[in-house]
Chain A
């Protein structure tokens, strides 16, 4: 319990980076900035991260360094045999509170990305900026479980007005609301 607490506090101080893949560039940045803490990948997903933490994480420098300005799913690549990917993504990345795959989906791999209706900045990344539709898992690579969760959360955000969208045009038939000839007689 204690190490995770320290970790969470440290990324809020904006000097913490969590490697998705431990690469040479990351190790270099560790050398460059001695204050930058590096933590090993943890496969444990039993701890429930509150949404508020996730919302703060999305605004932090650690997030920016990890993902840059692009949506979280852009830098993800699916692993599959052959050149044609399977039509569906895997059912789930987490089994028994542990990451059970070597290439977990963009949401599962980062435990601080919490799908919740208030986490609007995360949900926005999964809505197409051109058409306003929810992006498919074939594009984002989300596992089926997280994709389902995403659909529910976006629907909840729409219902609460936390996420806005373009409303279809409603045409009114004025004769339903006001009939001038009746008024003239009376």
Chain B
């Protein structure tokens, strides 16, 4: 990783693959094995107010499409003993109640990882005490370990050997927090799987959920490394049309948000139209409208008006999208004809 970090210092700026209007931080590393340029949520525009907006959240939730079987799949967390399933007799009302409860629990399990701006480096000197120069040959790190303080608010300062007292930078903060208040599945050093070579191997095996879950536990959402890993993963999913793998997981919302933010929703839209999820396609366009403050006629969730409007004005893959819309229209017409035929046969029409 140190090579990667060093090389990031001598970056070459290359034009961003997608013609994003918002300038994004572009880090093209010389030893890149993946042909993806990580795009962070840069300082130009803060995604958090939009992302945490209840309307946007509900749009992202409906795009996720909850499938309870997938949400409640058995997680093998290395516990020695397995739970014994319990069987109960229930009345219809009790069953409904339990299903409601399960849906609530599913909502908790589908909590989307926050999408925030990448954090700014800490570089604040508190005081310079030349009198303390040469007191010790190594740095001293002071950490406030009192109970009940959030990791983000914790006071961590460094006394340099030359007597300078300064605030610890992010790397030290993360390390100290993990040292005194260990979090599960987080290591002091960044695991090698986030390095390019191992990451590309994982992505080629389509282990997206593992990579994203691991990134969630290892990093804070404003960590540049988190944003690098997730953005590469999202781009890989987008290019390989593997949306179905992430569907009904907590990561689909951030994926959709990322693609919309960087104006790259054509593949996702195409997939939604091809699988005849027109309501979701309209949801996506509503999201697009909210983020980029444009208006599409998407009030009617089953209509194709907004979609055709988007294809005409903003789409980059006009051809395939138009074909998909046409195919959907044909399918719909056939279905209607069949329905009418059946009704006629039954003597209803």
Q: Report B51-87 residues with CB < 8 Å from chain A CB.
A: 51-52, 75-82
**A residues in contact with B80, CB < 8 Å:** 131, 133
Instruction: Give chain A nearest CB distance to B40 CB in angstroms.
Output: 15
Q: Does A170 reach chain B (CB closer than 8 Å)?
A: yes
Q: Does B202 reach chain A (CB closer than 8 Å)?
A: yes
How many B residues have CB within 8 A of the partner chain?
Answer: 40
Measured between alpha carbons, how far is A121 from B81 in the docked complex, in Å? 24
**B residues in contact with A159, CB < 8 Å:** 187, 191-193
Beta-carbon contact of A131 and B82 below 8 Å? yes
State which of B108, B113, B214, B222 has its C-beta within 8 Å of the C-beta of A167.
Answer: B214
Q: Does B96 reach chain A (CB closer than 8 Å)?
A: no
Beta-carbon contact of A161 and B116 below 8 Å? no
Q: Does B14 reach chain A (CB closer than 8 Å)?
A: no
Beta-carbon contact of A167 and B185 below 8 Å? yes
**A residues in contact with B114, CB < 8 Å:** 172, 174, 177-178
Beta-carbon contact of A168 and B52 below 8 Å? no
Given contacts A161-B192, A167-B213, A178-B48, contact A172 B78 (CB under 8 A): no
Given contacts A133-B78, A167-B216, A180-B49, contact A160 B221 (CB under 8 A): no
Q: Does A81 reach chain B (CB closer than 8 Å)?
A: no
Beta-carbon contact of A161 and B193 below 8 Å? yes
Q: Does A80 reach chain B (CB closer than 8 Å)?
A: no
Measured between alpha carbons, how far is A90 from B40 in the docked complex, in Å? 53
Q: Is the interface of B mostly helix, strand, loop or mixed?
A: loop
**B residues in contact with A160, CB < 8 Å:** 191-193, 198
Proximity string of chain B (17-54) to chain A, C-beta cutoff 8 Å, 1 when within and 0 when not = 00000000000000000000000000000001101100
Measured between alpha carbons, how far is A162 from B211 in the docked complex, in Å? 11
Q: Report B195-238 residues with CB < 8 Å from chain A CB.
A: 198-199, 201-202, 207, 210-211, 213-214, 216-217, 221-222
Beta-carbon contact of A178 and B76 below 8 Å? no
Q: Is the interface of A mostly helix, strand, loop or mixed?
A: loop
**B residues in contact with A166, CB < 8 Å:** 75-77, 213
**B residues in contact with A170, CB < 8 Å:** 113, 183, 185, 216-217
Measured between alpha carbons, how far is A133 from B79 in the docked complex, in Å? 7
Beta-carbon contact of A132 and B116 below 8 Å? no
Interface residues on A, range: 20 to 34
State which of A131, A162, A180 has its C-beta within 8 Å of the C-beta of B76.
Answer: A131
Which residue, of B51, B202, B213, has the highest number of chain A Cβ atoms within 10 A? Answer: B213
**B residues in contact with A130, CB < 8 Å:** 76, 82
Beta-carbon contact of A180 and B213 below 8 Å? no
State which of A161, A162, A177 has its C-beta within 8 Å of the C-beta of B48.
Answer: A177
Q: Does B111 reach chain A (CB closer than 8 Å)?
A: yes
Q: Does B150 reach chain A (CB closer than 8 Å)?
A: yes
Q: Does A5 reach chain B (CB closer than 8 Å)?
A: no
Beta-carbon contact of A172 and B111 below 8 Å? yes
**B residues in contact with A165, CB < 8 Å:** 76, 78, 210
Instruction: Give chain B nearest CB distance to A161 CB in angstroms.
Output: 3
Beta-carbon contact of A178 and B216 below 8 Å? no
Measured between alpha carbons, how far is A164 from B221 in the docked complex, in Å? 22
Q: Report A4-49 residues with CB < 8 Å from chain B CB.
A: none
**Sample of 22 A–B contacts (CB below 8 Å):** A130-B82, A131-B76, A132-B77, A160-B192, A160-B193, A161-B191, A161-B192, A161-B207, A165-B78, A166-B213, A168-B184, A169-B75, A169-B109, A170-B216, A170-B217, A172-B111, A172-B113, A172-B221, A176-B152, A177-B48, A177-B221, A178-B51
B contact set with A: CB distance below 8 Å: 48-49, 51-52, 75-82, 108-109, 111, 113-114, 116, 150, 152, 183-185, 187, 191-193, 198-199, 201-202, 207, 210-211, 213-214, 216-217, 221-222
Known: A165-B76, A172-B114, A178-B49. 9 other contacts (CB 8 A): A133-B80, A160-B198, A161-B192, A161-B211, A168-B75, A170-B185, A172-B113, A172-B221, A180-B52
What 8 A-B pairs are tightest by C-beta distance, nearest first? A132-B76, A161-B193, A167-B213, A177-B114, A133-B78, A178-B48, A166-B75, A164-B210
